[in-house]
């Protein structure tokens, strides 16, 4: 079989696919509280419980189906799997826009999670069509698509949500359908039949990526600290929109703008400032700095009195962007070069699991503390609890790791 040589249009198709995946995820967040209340008839506290389960359904499908979709693309080729996922997203957004009940909304989120796992095939496609020396640059482009999608998605969702809770989903359906048509016309297959392998269910096991930690038990304390960090910071995904409405009466537009600002600040910190900070303070010092900032802003959101204070805290949030990449770098020093990919897969799986459980539990806690109970009634309790949790990995890094060089000469 002779394969057409993919050009820049194919790369841009993959970029737009990943971008739309993230835009679709982000645009849901500003309108989700109102849509859940509309369909369920619950108050904001009750709606947050359902919101947590919706995010859990979406994330669980991505975790479970990511390896499956990747292996299907190894067996049947990249093009059909990518196009099927993009078309599935278009159909899902249309279904969600018409959802008459919460059951249909859950079905829509499940389908979105399955189709959103297409990023696995997108990465494989890019590996097929780029030279090894160019892959870092192209994968960086995909990272930019993730970041840009999370900036555009909430802003677009907040803007369109002012015209109705269903409008953002109609827009996402149109974008996905246009991308499907574009891909149908320009996207070539990159995996020749002779390079495909028979589908094997054992390779599609999402928990198989965790085996590396049984071989490198010395990493378990640091990995545990990272898991607790991801669990604690999942509070943002779980309750941010509901908290803003309950505490300040935010509109969909304000929710979208705050989330977009959050995404911009984090992207700038990760992309532009992490390297400089590590050179100045070392990896250990950078992680400590980021975790202190993370805990401080979590407690700060708990006592925030208005949008002005919240936006100041969003700016102060920037150092938290150092934590994930720098902790990952610290762990990467503990395994040989031929296990780096396996390590990254294991860390990604643990991150997904931690955020899945954190999102669900924080949503449940938010609902509990918004209802009459014998402890306290407040929309901010979850942020205080998350702040306490983040102090745990901070204590581990301070007292459980060795001091590295304070600075690295340029």
Across residues 56-67, what is the average pLDDT? 80
Assess whether 233 and 163 both reside in one domain: no
Span 34-50, average pLDDT: 89
Comparing 362 with 198, the larger pLDDT belongs to: 362
Task: Determine the pLDDT at residue 230.
Answer: 93
Which tens digit of pLDDT belongs to each residue from 24-41?
777 778 888 888 999 998
Task: Confirm whether 222 is domain-assigned.
Answer: yes
Is 160 a domain residue? Answer: yes
Q: What is the pLDDT of residue 193?
A: 75
Q: Tell me if 195 is assigned to some domain.
A: no
Gap between the Cα atoms of 186 and 13, Å rounded: 8
The string of pLDDT tens digits covering residues 221-251 is 888 999 999 999 999 989 999 999 999 999 9
Instruction: Note whether residue 141 is domain-resident.
Output: yes
Of the three residues 155, 188, 221, the one that is the final residue of a domain is 188
Final residue in a domain of this structure, among 130, 161, 188: 188
In a domain, 302, yes or no: yes
The pLDDT tens digits of the residues spanning 120-170 come to 677 667 767 767 666 655 665 666 677 778 788 888 888 888 888 888 888
DSSP 8-state assignment for residue 163:
T
Q: How far apart are CA 119 and CA 126, in angstroms?
A: 10
Rounded to whole angstroms, the Cα distance separating 75 from 199 reads 5
Mean pLDDT for all residues in the chain: 82
Tell me, what's the pLDDT at 28? 78
- Does one domain contain both 220 and 110? no
Q: Are residues 300 and 237 in the same domain?
A: yes
Q: Total structural domains in the chain?
A: 2
Residues 212, 183, single domain; the answer is no
Same domain, 175 and 29: yes
Residues 83 and 160 in one domain: yes
The reported pLDDT for the residue numbered 49 is 87
Q: pLDDT at position 24, please?
A: 74
d(CA 179, CA 173): 10
State the residue for tokens 């997904």: 352
Which tokens belong to 257?
Answer: 């703008």
Domain CATH code at residue 133: 1.20.1250.20
Are residues 285 and 359 located together in one domain of the fold? Answer: yes
Is 137 within the bounds of a domain? yes
Contact 250, 244 (CB under 8 A): yes
**114 and 87 together in one domain:** yes
Q: Within 10 Å of residue 6's Cβ, how many Cβ atoms?
A: 22
- Same domain, residue pair 169 and 226: no
The DSSP symbol for 3 reads P
Q: What distance in Å separates the CA atoms of residue 159 and residue 156, rounded to the nearest whole number?
A: 5
Domain membership of residue 410 (yes or no) is no
Asked if residue 232 and residue 179 are part of one domain, the reply reads no
Convert the pLDDT of each residue in 271-313 to its tens digit.
Answer: 778 778 888 888 889 899 999 999 999 999 999 999 999 999 9
- C-alpha 367/C-alpha 361 separation (Å) is 10
Give the structural domain span for 213: 207-405
| Contact (CB, 8 A) for 316 and 297 | yes
Residues 315, 214: one domain?
Answer: yes
Residues 49 and 135 in one domain: yes
Q: Quote the pLDDT of residue 358.
A: 93
- Quote the pLDDT of residue 331: 83
State the pLDDT confidence band at 209, using cuts at 50, 70 and 90.
low
Give the domain-ending residue among 188, 216, 238. 188
């Amino acid at each position: 079989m002779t394969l057409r040589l993919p050009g820049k249009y194919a790369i841009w198709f993959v970029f737009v696919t990943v971008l739309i995946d993230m835009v679709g995820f982000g645009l849901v967040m500003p309108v989700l509280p109102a849509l859940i209340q509309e369909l369920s008839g619950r108050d904001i506290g009750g709606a947050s419980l359902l919101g947590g389960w919706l995010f859990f359904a979406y994330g669980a499908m991505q975790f479970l189906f990511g390896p499956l979709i990747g292996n299907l693309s190894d067996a049947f080729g990249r093009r059909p799997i990518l196009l099927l996922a993009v078309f599935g997203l278009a159909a899902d957004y249309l279904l969600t826009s018409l959802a008459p009940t919460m059951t249909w909304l859950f079905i829509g989120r499940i389908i979105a999670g399955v189709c959103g796992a297409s990023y696995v095939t997108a990465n494989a496609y890019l590996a097929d069509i780029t030279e090894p020396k160019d892959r870092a640059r192209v994968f960086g482009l995909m990272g930019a698509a993730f970041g840009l999608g999370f900036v555009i998605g909430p802003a677009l969702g907040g803007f369109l949500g002012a015209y109705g809770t269903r409008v953002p989903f109609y827009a996402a359906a149109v974008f996905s359908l246009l991308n499907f048509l574009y891909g149908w016309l320009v996207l070539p297959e990159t995996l020749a039949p002779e390079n495909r392998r028979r589908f094997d269910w054992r390779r599609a096991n999402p928990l198989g990526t965790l085996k590396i930690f049984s071989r490198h038990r010395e990493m378990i304390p640091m990995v545990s600290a990272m898991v607790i960090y991801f669990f604690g910071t999942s509070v943002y995904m779980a309750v941010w929109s509901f908290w803003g409405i309950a505490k300040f009466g935010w509109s969909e537009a304000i929710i979208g703008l705050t989330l977009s600002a959050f995404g911009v600040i984090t992207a700038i910190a990760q992309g532009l400032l992490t390297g400089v900070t590590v050179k100045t303070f070392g990896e250990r010092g950078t992680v400590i700095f980021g975790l202190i900032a993370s805990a401080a802003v979590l407690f700060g959101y708990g006592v925030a009195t208005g949008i002005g204070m919240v936006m100041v805290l969003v700016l102060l949030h920037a150092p938290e962007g150092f934590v994930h990449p720098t902790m990952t770098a610290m762990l990467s020093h503990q395994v040989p070069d031929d296990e780096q990919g396996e390590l990254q897969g294991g860390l990604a799986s643990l991150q997904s699991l931690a955020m899945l459980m954190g999102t669900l539990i924080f949503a449940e806690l938010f609902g509990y503390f918004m209802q009459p109970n014998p402890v306290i009634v407040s929309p901010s309790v979850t942020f205080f609890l998350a702040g306490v949790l983040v102090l745990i990995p901070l204590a581990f890094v301070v007292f459980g790791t060795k001091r590295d060089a304070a600075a690295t000469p340029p």
